[in-house]
Amino acid sequence: MSTTISIIGSGNVANHLGKAFYQKRLTIKQVYSQSIENATVLAQQINATPIANLDAIKPDADCYIISIKDDAIESVLEHFPFKNKLIAHTAGGLSIEVFKKYGFTNYGVFYPLQTFSKNKKLDLSAVPFCIEANNELNQNLLTQLAQQLSNSIYPIDSEQRKTLHVAAVFACNFPNYLYHIAEKITAQQNMDFNILKPLIQETAEKIITHSPSDTQTGPAIRNDQEIIKNHIQMLADFKDYQDIYQLLTNSIIKEKTNGEL
Amino acid sequence: MSTTISIIGSGNVANHLGKAFYQKRLTIKQVYSQSIENATVLAQQINATPIANLDAIKPDADCYIISIKDDAIESVLEHFPFKNKLIAHTAGGLSIEVFKKYGFTNYGVFYPLQTFSKNKKLDLSAVPFCIEANNELNQNLLTQLAQQLSNSIYPIDSEQRKTLHVAAVFACNFPNYLYHIAEKITAQQNMDFNILKPLIQETAEKIITHSPSDTQTGPAIRNDQEIIKNHIQMLADFKDYQDIYQLLTNSIIKEKTNGEL
């Protein structure tokens, strides 16, 4: 018999997971959100019952997935009515210990290491799921659940997951911000951001087969001071971008000098 | 009759262009490098004659492509024996004006906006070629040459190309450096960098269909001060990475506050 799930949350991750479970023909019992409208929008798409009150949560699911903002999780745990049900959060930065504090006996972490945006479809089958649980049985249950969605499952403890979470900021959030800067710089000269897209794709693709330490290119790694000076000057309208350019350039030159790049 | 080419240079870009021309059955006459060994390695693969002396350049090519380090270009131009032949450089950061100084009469820029690494194959057909020339005839000749390799040709003047070059640092060189940081952070905890690769791919793919300004995720855009503080603490072993984390985070928060992100 397949696992039944209830989902606490209706944000990006809850949406992606809920729809993926539904596509894999798992039964989703309830969707909880503080806003009944948001709960309803998701619930309707995955044949679940929307609720906006934690007291309305029923004990009929095998597993409860909590996918809400980190700072809202404790308050939900405090009011969650069934302390012996298997429950897991999806947060990168939050320890598994949070469940202990509120008297849960079967718990874990179900962390998809990916960036989720509304209105952007995503194939979960290649997304790494980082699984942690309070005992082997629950580890197996959550692993099996993740295997329904993905071919890439990693047992990752809370310390490792915290490290991954920082690394993910460097691997995803900051690069996206740098893309934004590139878009703004080109837009200022009325150029089309599309011209930079093949470069962005190739840069990301390259690291599938090559270590980024071996593929660094550009003025900083060549220590081309003339180009660097020109670039800093050209960024005169963007003071903050000048600082970012200078700091990253200095750091690249330093690592190159130390033989670390 | 198809255009014949000689290539000045034997580095990454010269290699990629030379092989691509050869694959498209264009005739490459000569390959010049200061090192006859390097000239020979490339020349042998593309059925050209290697030379290591600028005086040995023959006037039998229709077009001369100079693809060497920026700071070596002027010295080559100074000694280049045929001032009326069509000649183009492939440098992002160098103005077209450089040719005028040395008395050339037919010249331009043939700039592939891409990151080229040795031992990494690349399909040039999607690479944007930025073309500039000193007159319409040469603009057409260089455009037709680029069309042999790519479906994506842009007429781009020197000012625009300089802007693109800065933007490319933010779109490519800096993200690659951040991937390197992510790899170092995960390695320190004995974790496999592979786990971050789907995230890196998705982040880059997302901007094909969505503006990066609309897809920013992570602790900074949420202004999640607790996570940010934790991350900074966790980077204690990497002082420079702490500074980078802080500066990029501050800049994201500022742009979010100003409504620019």
Query: Where exactly are the structural domains of chain A?
Result: 4-156, 162-257
CA-CA distance, A223 to B117, in Å (whole number)? Answer: 17
CATH topology of domain A162-257: N-(1-d-carboxylethyl)-l-norvaline Dehydrogenase; domain 2 (1.10.1040)
Q: Which residues in chain A have Cβ-Cβ distances shorter than 8 Å to B130? A: 195
Q: Is the pLDDT of residue A1 over 80?
A: no
A-chain residues near B180 (CB < 8 A): 211-213, 216, 255, 261
Residues of chain B with pLDDT under 50: none
Mean of per-residue pLDDT scores for chain A = 95
Helix (H, G, I), strand (E, B) or coil at B7: strand
Q: Residue A118's pLDDT is what?
A: 76
Rounded to a whole number, what is the distance in Å from the CA of B200 to chain A's nearest CA? 6
Q: What is the DSSP letter of B192?
A: -
Tell me the β-bridge partners of A240.
none
Residue A238 forms contact with B (CB below 8 Å) = no
Write out chain B residues lying below 8 Å of A13, CB-based.
none
Q: What is the pLDDT of residue B103?
A: 95
Cα–Cα distance, B69 to B126 (Å, whole number): 24
Contact of A227 with chain B, judged by CB distance below 8 Å, is answered with yes
Which pLDDT belongs to residue B92?
A: 87
Provide the shortest C-alpha distance from residue B181 to chain A (in Å).
7
Give the per-residue pLDDT at A2: 81
Residues in A touching B127 (Cβ below 8 Å): 198
Mean pLDDT for the stretch of residues A74-79? 95
Which residues, in sequence order, are CB contacts of A133 under 8 Å at separation 6+?
A: A88, A96, A107, A108, A109, A139, A141, A142
pLDDT at B1: 55
B191 touching A, CB under 8 A?
yes
Contacts of A156 in chain B (CB under 8 A): 191
The rounded percent of chain A whose pLDDT value lies above 70 is 100
Least confident of A96-110, A205-219, B32-46, B116-130: B116-130
Provide the CATH topology of domain B4-156: Rossmann fold (3.40.50)
- Measure the CA–CA gap between A18 and B146, rounded to whole angstroms: 47
B81 and A CB contact within 8 Å: no
State which residue of chain B sits closest to A167, comparing Cα positions.
Answer: B182
Nearest to B115 among A119, A199, A255 (CB): A199
What pLDDT is recorded for position B35?
96
Across the range A173-201, mean pLDDT stands at 96
